[in-house]
Amino acid sequence: MNLTVNGQRKNFSAPLNVEQLLTFLKLKHDQVVVELNREILIADKYVDIQLNDDDTLEVIQFVGGG
C-alpha cells in the first residue's frame, strides 16, 4: 500500500490504521495533528480509521514561530 505522508511517497504493509502509522513513525499522538485527504482527524478516532492505497496524509506539529 502506498501512502503520501507529508509529501513523501512511502510503502506500508496493510492493514494499517492511523494510530499504527503514528506509532510506526515514532510520533507521539498528543503532539501532532493529522489530516487525511484534506480532512482533519479527531485523535480519538485514529484507531478506527483504516488507511487505503493512495491516501494522502499531513502530520503536523507546533514549532517556534512569531
Q: How far is the CB of 37 from other proteins (least distance, A)?
A: 13
Looking at residues 1 to 60 of the shown chain, list those that interact with other proteins (rule: CB under 8 A): 5-8, 25-28, 30-33, 35, 40-42, 58-60
- Cα gap 62→17, rounded to integer Å: 23
Q: CA–CA separation, 23 vs 28, rounded Å?
A: 7
Residue 48 CB neighbour total at 10 angstroms: 11
State the nearest-atom distance from the C-beta of 15 to other proteins, in Å: 20
- Cβ-based nearer residue to other proteins, 14 or 25: 25
**Contacting positions for other proteins (CB under 8 A):** 5-8, 25-28, 30-33, 35, 40-42, 58-66
